[in-house]
């Protein structure tokens, strides 16, 4: 009997790794990022989606800063200058306050595998995380489906305003 594991995605481009690491190591106070009243301890969210050919990272910060990074090296940076994008980013950050109980503290930040979604919630006390199946999230069958919907709304706004 042979075991077959899914093919590994290619190594992320250095620019992707660099941008992602910058966000994950950011000190919010030094960057002037203040948490929202609805989520007073949360300053950012990374929603990462795994695909057979790599990963995509959606960054939403409490100040409305929004970016998307693609592990192949492309991305969209600085979309939060558009009011609708900033509002969607802040809605995602605010919504995480209702889900902290299903997120575990973490100090490691692996990328998700194909078909999986990894949430990293950046709090003043450190990062918290949870991973789920993308289909379960999209179908509303997971405790974090709400966050996935907010993330999807943000992606829609990014696409709308980056064309």
> In this predicted structure, what is the pLDDT of residue 100?
93
Residue 6: predicted pLDDT: 58
**Count of domains observed in the chain:** 1
Question: What's CA 126's distance to the chain center, in Å?
Answer: 15
pLDDT of residue 20: 96
Residues 69, 82: contact at Cβ < 8 Å? no
CB 134 within 8 A of CB 27: no
**pTM, to two decimals:** 0.92
Q: 47 φ, ψ to 5°?
A: -110, 115
Q: What is the number of other CB atoms lying within 10 angstroms of the CB of residue 143?
A: 14
Find out whether 130 and 117 touch, Cβ atoms under 8 Å.
no
Q: What residue numbers bound the domain in which 40 lies?
A: 35-161
For residue 120, being part of any structural domain is answered with: yes
What's the pLDDT at 162?
82
Residue 22: inside a domain: no
pLDDT of residue 2: 46
The encoded tokens of residue 126 equal 């450190």
148 within domain boundaries: yes
pLDDT at 80: 85
In a domain, 16, yes or no: no
pLDDT < 50 stretches in the chain: 1-2
């Amino acid at each position: 009997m042979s075991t077959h594991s899914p093919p590994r995605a290619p190594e992320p481009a250095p620019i992707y790794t660099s941008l992602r690491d910058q966000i994950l190591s950011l000190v919010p106070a030094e960057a002037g990022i203040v948490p929202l009243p609805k989520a007073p301890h949360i300053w950012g969210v990374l929603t990462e989606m795994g695909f057979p050919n790599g990963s995509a990272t959606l960054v939403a910060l409490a100040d409305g800063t929004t970016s998307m990074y693609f592990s192949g090296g492309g991305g969209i940076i600085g979309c939060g200058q558009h009011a609708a994008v900033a509002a969607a980013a802040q809605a995602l950050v605010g919504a995480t306050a209702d889900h902290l109980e299903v997120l575990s503290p973490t100090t490691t930040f692996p990328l998700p595998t194909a078909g999986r979604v990894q949430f990293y919630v950046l709090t003043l006390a450190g990062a918290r995380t949870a991973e789920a199946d993308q289909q379960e999230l999209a179908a509303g069958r997971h405790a974090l489906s709400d966050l996935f919907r907010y993330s999807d709304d943000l992606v829609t706004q990014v696409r709308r305003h980056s064309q």
